[in-house]
Amino acid sequence: MIYLDYAATTPVPREVADTMYQVLTERFGNPSSQYRIGLEMKKQVEQWRKTVAEALDCPPERLYFTACGTEGDNWAITAAAWQNRRLGRHIVTTAVEHSAVIETCRWLDRQGYEVTYVKPDSRGTITAQQILEAVRPDTALVSVMLVNNELGAIYPISEIARGLAARNPQTLLHTDAVQGFLKVPCSAKALGADFITISGHKIGGPKGVGALYIGPRVKNPKPLLAGGGQEGGLRSGTEATAQIAGFAKAVELRQENLPDKLRHMAELKDYAVERLSAIPDLQIISGEGGAPHILSVSLVGWPSQNIVNDLSQQDIFISAGSACHQGRPSHVVAALGLPKRVAGGVIRLSFGPETTKDDIDGCAAALQTHHDTRMPML
Ligand code: PLP
């Protein structure tokens, strides 16, 4: 098998699975229980929170575990709208956000908000100036992702934060850092956002766990779930201890020799650009200057879903855009304004620490064969 879809999800290392197994079978106490194994687990959850918070460079008491990145995005946006409900009903976001952000904004739109979707150029670039120009006195929230999941483009969050502080200090800033956490510099302090979403399964953790950083400018944040008062009373529900344990373990493992891992991914990406550029009709969409693990290319004229299906039959797994958009044209690719034949052929290759040059070679050979043996249809 050749797996080149690490932006969709990642394999869980054995140590992570073992840690989770132990929590599920032996250390299964409920952190809210008042006897020893409950109290021990409560302490342990705080330790795991500390591990994840340190990696995000934020105080642990400002980090809340969630069920996934999607939940973090939904919570951040609705909490920001709630806090600034008297400031105004305008939101600035981008046309290339993950659907967890776009759909929450659309929902608010239906509740009477006005949403501005800032468009990228044809390579996916969006500048801080573009975002700041869209901001108005009644802008309650700006939500811009740190790394685009389909293009790998990195957006200038700290510059946006500084611009907002100077012009509209009450406007809150959210960044979806699901693809940026432990891939590009991602310090809560340096980013300066009020909300930061991260997710476990993009960094070797299990699916079904994430976290949301909520900064000090968010006064009395709107609880996501009311109930037993877990997560500082903001997200009730018995803690998913095994998932949280796995998340923290994955963070620990990923941080070991992190610069080497990132260098490895960046080198693979350069190698992939070199190999794939040799295929006729292949166009690099975005890659340069972006996150080390995501490369977007187009086999101009060949429909991306056919490519994905063909490679899948050979046990090679790549994506035709965001996994969350399967079967539907991606709004991210649409926003680039590319000619139809280019847009229709966009595929994403994404890498992890385990990816090898042989994986790239195998994928490049399969793409070359697809090009040589299938008729272009676009
Ligand atoms: N945001 C981005 C940028 C993502 O890539 C993803 C996952 O694909 C999400 C949010 C959603 O995260 P989760 O799968 O944990 O809900």
Between the alpha carbon of residue 142 and those of residues 138, 156, 168, 259, 367, the distances in Å are 11, 13, 11, 31, 39
Q: Is 176 in the pocket of ligand 1 (CB under 6 A)?
A: yes
Span from the CA of 100 to the centroid of ligand 1 (angstroms): 7
Q: In the prediction, which pLDDT does 289 show?
A: 86
Nearest CA to ligand 1 atom 8: 8
pLDDT at position 321 is: 62
Token digits for 288? 């340069």
The residues assigned a catalytic role are 324
Residue 97 near ligand 1, beta carbon < 6 Å: no
Low-confidence ranges of the chain (pLDDT < 70): 287, 321-328
Q: Contact 91/143 with Cβ under 8 angstroms?
A: yes
178 lines ligand 1 (CB under 6 A): yes
Mutation choice for ligand 1 from 179, 325, 326, CB with most ligand atoms inside 8 A:
179
Atom of ligand 1 at shortest distance to CA of 70? 16
Q: What is the pLDDT of residue 100?
A: 98
Residue partners of 290: CB distance under 8 A and separation at least 6: 124, 147, 148, 151, 152, 153, 154
68 lines ligand 1 (CB under 6 A): yes
What is the pLDDT at residue 327?
59
Pairing of strands 63-66, 210-214: antiparallel
The pLDDT score that the predictor gives to residue 286 is: 85
Residue type, 156: P
Go through 131-150 and write b for each residue having 16 or more CB atoms within 10 A of its CB, e for each that does not: bbebbeeebbbbbbbbbbbb
* Ligand 1 atom index nearest CA of 73: 10
Q: How many residues does the chain have?
A: 378
Query: In this predicted structure, what is the pLDDT of residue 326?
Result: 56
Rounded (5°) CA angle 177-180-183: 155
Phi, psi of 220 (to 5 degrees): 45, 65
Shortest-distance Cα residue to atom 13 of ligand 1:
69
CA distance 243 to 231: 15
